[in-house]
A and B are shown apart, each in its own frame.
Chain A
Amino acid sequence: MKKNRIKVFLVDDDKLFLKSLEIEFIEDDKYIIETFETGESCLKSMEHKPDIIILDYQLDGIDKTAMNGIAILDKIKAYDAEIPVIMLSSQDKIEVAVNCMHHKAIDYVVKSETAFMRLQKIIPSIFQYKKIEKELNWYMERM
């Protein structure tokens, strides 16, 4: 049972939203949650081996010196391209979404009341997809 639990990193400088997401995730014992208020602190904890990272797009809003979400996304992908990253943003803008996709984010979710529901749907489907991909690769190798 424990083995199947999914380790999720939540990264957002909005503490309130971060907490509310955390609360929702910990209700479901499928997940182990680690939260980070900055992208930098998340990067430092990469050795905790997250299964998936949920990352805020705008991390440099108030603290100008902070790295923004896309920069963090690039670093994560550089560290391990296999880790799926879902981007979060309160902006529902096509440029933002496209930008995220270009930087290899697996999905893009708008911060709203339904955000958690979206995440709840997306995460299992990502792993389902990964599993299918793996199986496919396995068969491909054998062929």
Chain B
Amino acid sequence: MEILKREESQYARSLIEASLDPLVTINTEGKVTDMNQATINIFGISREKLTGSDFFKYFTAPQKAREVYQEVFAKGFVAGYPLTIRDQKLTDVLFNGSVYKDETGNVLGAVVVARDITEQKRIEKELIEAKVFAEFATELAEDAKRKAEGATQIAEGAVKAKQQFLSNMSHEIRTPMNAIIGFTKVVLKTELTAKQKEYLTAIKMSGDALIVLINDILDLAKVDAGKMTFEESAFKMASSISAMLHLFETKIQEKNLKLVREYDSNIPEVLVGDPVRLHQIILNLVSNAVKFTSKGKITVGVRLLEENEQTVTIEFAVSDTGIGITTAKMASIFENFQQASSDTSRLYGGTGLGLAIVKQLVESQGGSIHVESKPDVGSKFSFILSFKKTKGKVVAEDEVMDIDIDLKLIKVLVVEDIALNQLLMKTLLDDFGFERDIAANGKIAIEKLQNTSYDVILMDLQMPEMNGFEATEYIRNTLNLDIPIIALTADVTTVDLAKCKAVGMNDYIAKPVDERVLYSKIIGLVKKTVPAPDSEIYVMNEIENTRVKCIDLNYLMRRTKSSPALMMEMISLYLEQTPPLIDAMKSSFKNNDWTLLHATVHKMIPSFSIMGINSDFEKIAKKIQDYAGAQLQHKGISKMVVQLENVCVQACKELEEEFNRIKNTHNEKK
């Protein structure tokens, strides 16, 4: 029994000693009577010294410790009483204690358990700090958010303001530029001294340059604002591109360059995409090529890369034999307002916006653009775009029609409120030999339409009383007329164009009005029944470009001051003189009659420049003349004779048509 008791007590003792919390017993006087190892560890004092010592002195606040002791003995227990042990670390503890009694119930002393709460305290402290920090952070974040929102608002406002400013400016600049360029063109047609002509030409060129710049800036602004939208309309790729290349013919001839077209005939005829933007891209690249090339050729290649059920991927390439770009400058040429070197802008002019726009236009359509170049050898810009295939037909034939279709008298109604523009349109249409009528707004136009019939309407969009959209709607829906309507607009945003189409307009012309475009669009719409000669477009990659008109009557018109009688006289002389010359050339060549061949070709030479036939042919003629003069048999002569014959026969044909056209217009005018 005694042994059992001892064993039990030893077991209890070992449990007590094993506890990590300090356990201390104190007697009623507050003296330490026993303790476990943990207590010794924490207090850092030996068992012997602790036993019998005053319990309270081991705490930083003895008074408080005394209160614990008093409470234990008064209440019989104490729980969760915080104290700090006066050891090296000032360990924070929580006290739990209860009294213990003998069999008779007398209080012998108290057992006190001190729980080390250092860790707990630390965590608590960290938690509080974290909380404070978190609160602070939240506050900061909210502040930042408020600031960001403010900034965004300001930025959005700024972008909007910029947009608005650009749009307004462009409109405000374009309207007067329209009048300046238009009237300069008109004055240029009158009789002038050489000096006056020179000055006016300078005005016109500067005006054109300014318009290009404004359009470029507007385009870039649109791309930057993500406002550039792309149309999805069906168009004929081949004819669309070749029509656009027409624009460069004069320039290319002037610089004595060659334009080579390489068109992949595997490309489906009709594709879906944005022909206007495609034009813009190629236009920019080709005009760069022309600008930076003084000798050699410009090649426009269109190649089918890939074709599947729905789409085709096409590579377009514009190569030149111009000044080229150094590798160092290659990366920056696509940036805004950059040219390969500042010297080039001085030499060649330009804003340096063209390639930036090209890049934006290509990339925002999901394409990619590449450049290869060698200084003084040439450059090649190529881009790849995908187009959807379609089985549908092209809705609107917007190819530039050849201008030599017989014209009946065309009656045009111009709806335009600004007097200057009215006068300008009047002058242009009179020049074309069209009959015209002017209405100052949509309302007046509708009144006129009820009494008179016209062939085509040119409709300004912004007008008082009734604007162009309202007027068109009325004409289409109430008057039920399907007369062609061409919108005249200063701001060519895609939104406007969509609106034009939506109300039933057939086409649009951007101001300032380009004479050629105006003419071909009017003719195109009036003569819609005449199919465009598509088959010829595939005859590409030839210097002669036989499908292009070989004659150019500008020179003759200048010479004769556009007098129909004189023009007709000159043309009929050519028609009278040339066929016998062709015959003489052929027969003399066949008979090896070098003298006659020499004389015949000699006589032909001046006629090329008079009728505006490409100077290449004049050169061919001069070559034949030289060979014939030297009585040299040359294997190339035969080919050259055929070339001359062909161009002269074609010229005769075209001049005959031209003659009849002038005659008809002239007579009807009378």
> A interface vs B, CB < 8 Å?
13-17, 19-20, 23-24, 27, 58, 60-62, 90-91, 111-113
Count of inter-chain pairs, beta carbons less than 8 A: 59
Contact status B570-A62, CB under 8 Å: no
Kindly list the 5 A-B residue pairs having the minimum CB-CB distance in the complex, ordered from nearest.
Answer: A61-B599, A17-B606, A90-B605, A15-B573, A111-B606
Chain A residues with Cβ below 8 Å from B606 are 14, 16-17, 20, 90, 111-112
| Chain A nearest Cβ from B586, distance in angstroms | 14
Q: List the one stretch of B75-83, B436-444, B503-511, B558-566 in contact with chain A.
A: B558-566
Contact status A58-B602, CB under 8 Å: yes
- 20 A–B contacts from the bound complex (CB under 8 Å): A15-B576, A16-B570, A16-B606, A16-B610, A19-B569, A19-B573, A20-B559, A20-B570, A20-B610, A23-B560, A23-B570, A58-B599, A60-B599, A61-B600, A61-B603, A62-B596, A62-B599, A90-B606, A111-B606, A112-B606
| Chain B nearest Cβ from A136, distance in angstroms | 33
Chain B residues with Cβ below 8 Å from A20 are 559, 570, 606, 610
Contact status A14-B570, CB under 8 Å: no
Interface-central residue, B603, B605, B607, by most chain A CB under 10 Å: B603
A-side interface mostly: loop
Contact status B603-A13, CB under 8 Å: yes
Contact status B609-A112, CB under 8 Å: yes
Q: Which of B561, B577, B598 contacts A27 (CB 8 A)?
A: B561
| Chain A nearest Cβ from B630, distance in angstroms | 13
* Cβ-based interface call for B584 (8 A): yes
| Chain B nearest Cβ from A116, distance in angstroms | 9
* Cβ-based interface call for B43 (8 A): no
Chain A residues with Cβ below 8 Å from B596 are 61-62
Contact status B609-A113, CB under 8 Å: yes
Chain A residues with Cβ below 8 Å from B584 are 62
* Cβ-based interface call for B594 (8 A): no
Q: Which of B566, B600, B607 contacts A62 (CB 8 A)?
A: B600
Chain A residues with Cβ below 8 Å from B574 are 16
| Chain B nearest Cβ from A72, distance in angstroms | 16
Contact status A23-B600, CB under 8 Å: no
Contact status A17-B610, CB under 8 Å: yes
Given contacts A20-B570, A23-B566, contact A14 B603 (CB under 8 A): yes
Chain A residues with Cβ below 8 Å from B609 are 112-113
Contact with A along B587-604 (1 / 0, CB 8 A): 000000000101110110
Complex CA distance for A111 and B607, rounded to whole angstroms: 10
Complex CA distance for A73 and B570, rounded to whole angstroms: 27
Complex CA distance for A88 and B602, rounded to whole angstroms: 13
Instruction: Give 6 new A-B contacts, CB below 8 A, not counting A15-B577, A19-B573, A90-B603.
Output: A14-B577, A19-B569, A27-B561, A62-B596, A62-B603, A91-B602
Chain B residues with Cβ below 8 Å from A90 are 602-603, 605-606
Contact with A along B193-230 (1 / 0, CB 8 A): 00000000000000000000000000000000000000
Complex CA distance for A132 and B569, rounded to whole angstroms: 40
| Chain B nearest Cβ from A104, distance in angstroms | 24
Of all chain A residues, the one with the shortest Cβ separation from B580 is A62
> B interface vs A, CB < 8 Å?
555, 559-561, 566, 569-570, 573-574, 576-577, 581, 584, 596, 598-600, 602-603, 605-607, 609-610, 625
Chain B residues with Cβ below 8 Å from A60 are 599
Complex CA distance for A82 and B573, rounded to whole angstroms: 33
Chain A residues with Cβ below 8 Å from B598 are 61
Chain B residues with Cβ below 8 Å from A19 are 569-570, 573
Complex CA distance for A20 and B561, rounded to whole angstroms: 12
Chain A residues with Cβ below 8 Å from B566 are 23
Chain B residues with Cβ below 8 Å from A91 are 602, 625
Complex CA distance for A91 and B605, rounded to whole angstroms: 10
Chain B residues with Cβ below 8 Å from A15 are 573, 576-577
Interface-central residue, A17, A60, A112, by most chain B CB under 10 Å: A17
Of all chain B residues, the one with the shortest Cβ separation from A63 is B599
Of all chain B residues, the one with the shortest Cβ separation from A113 is B609
Complex CA distance for A23 and B564, rounded to whole angstroms: 13
Complex CA distance for A54 and B559, rounded to whole angstroms: 19
| Chain B nearest Cβ from A99, distance in angstroms | 15
Complex CA distance for A58 and B628, rounded to whole angstroms: 15
Of all chain B residues, the one with the shortest Cβ separation from A112 is B609
Contact status B607-A17, CB under 8 Å: yes
Chain B residues with Cβ below 8 Å from A13 are 603
| Chain B nearest Cβ from A18, distance in angstroms | 8
| Chain B nearest Cβ from A10, distance in angstroms | 13
Contact status A111-B599, CB under 8 Å: no
Complex CA distance for A90 and B625, rounded to whole angstroms: 11
Interface-central residue, B581, B584, B600, B602, by most chain A CB under 10 Å: B602
Contact status A16-B559, CB under 8 Å: no
Complex CA distance for A23 and B598, rounded to whole angstroms: 28
Complex CA distance for A24 and B561, rounded to whole angstroms: 10
Complex CA distance for A113 and B603, rounded to whole angstroms: 15
Of all chain A residues, the one with the shortest Cβ separation from B556 is A20
Contact status B600-A16, CB under 8 Å: no
Q: Which of B569, B576, B602 contacts A61 (CB 8 A)?
A: B602
Interface-central residue, A19, A60, A111, A112, by most chain B CB under 10 Å: A19
Chain B residues with Cβ below 8 Å from A24 are 559
Chain A residues with Cβ below 8 Å from B602 are 58, 61, 90-91
Chain A residues with Cβ below 8 Å from B559 are 20, 23-24
Chain A residues with Cβ below 8 Å from B625 are 91
| Chain B nearest Cβ from A56, distance in angstroms | 10
Contact status B605-A16, CB under 8 Å: no
Complex CA distance for A5 and B584, rounded to whole angstroms: 40
Chain A residues with Cβ below 8 Å from B607 are 14, 16-17
Of all chain A residues, the one with the shortest Cβ separation from B621 is A90
Chain B residues with Cβ below 8 Å from A14 are 577, 603, 606-607
Complex CA distance for A61 and B570, rounded to whole angstroms: 22
Complex CA distance for A15 and B606, rounded to whole angstroms: 11
Complex CA distance for A29 and B600, rounded to whole angstroms: 34
| Chain B nearest Cβ from A9, distance in angstroms | 19
Contact status B599-A16, CB under 8 Å: no
Complex CA distance for A61 and B581, rounded to whole angstroms: 11
Complex CA distance for A84 and B254, rounded to whole angstroms: 36
